[in-house]
Amino acid sequence: MAKEKHVSETPATQFLKKHKISFTEHPYEYVDHGGATEAARQLGLDLHQVAKTLIMEDEHARPLVVVMHGDLEVSTKNLARQTGSKKIAPCTPDTAQKHSGYLVGGTSPFSTRKKMPVWVEQDLLDYPVIYVNGGRRGYLIGVAPSALLDLLGAKAVQAGIPK
């Protein structure tokens, strides 16, 4: 029981508690480069309902957060077009960590170090609950996708393409 309590103490979960947003906790065994696929497998979740949080940047090196289905890739061309940017590319792991304050593999869209625009794949908003990283490697939280819209001002995009 003490382990569960310890796991929940991240900037992301503190932020959700402060805003009275309920969430469920789903710890799993972190595997390097396992990503959403490994988390979904271990937890018995639908990979399409598990969201990965990616830190990207536009042509001016301005960072942004993308929340995408675990089983899809981000079309940076489609994302750029929908966000009004000329070009969008993933940040290096070091740059992503600097912007988010989270280790790569443990990036949550909630309570990032730097305030960044958040873009969420449209279809994720159709689920009653999505599973996003809770701010630590090996730790997902189940939360209503409306929390992304309400707390982070996330905007919907359609930029997911098959892997």
Tell me: the pLDDT tens digits for 96-132? Answer: 999 999 999 999 999 999 999 999 999 999 999 999 9
Ordered by where they begin, the domains of the chain are 2-162 (3.90.960.10)
Q: What is the mean pLDDT of the chain?
A: 94
Query: Residue 148 pLDDT more than 50?
Result: yes
* Predicted local confidence at residue 163, as pLDDT: 86
Residues 125-144, mean pLDDT to the nearest whole number = 97
Q: Give the pLDDT band (50/70/90) at residue 8.
A: low
Determine what percent of the chain is predicted with pLDDT higher than 90.
93
* Predicted local confidence at residue 7, as pLDDT: 60
pTM of the model: 0.94
Residues 158 and 113: their CA atoms lie apart, in Å, by 26
Q: Give the pLDDT band (50/70/90) at residue 4.
A: very low
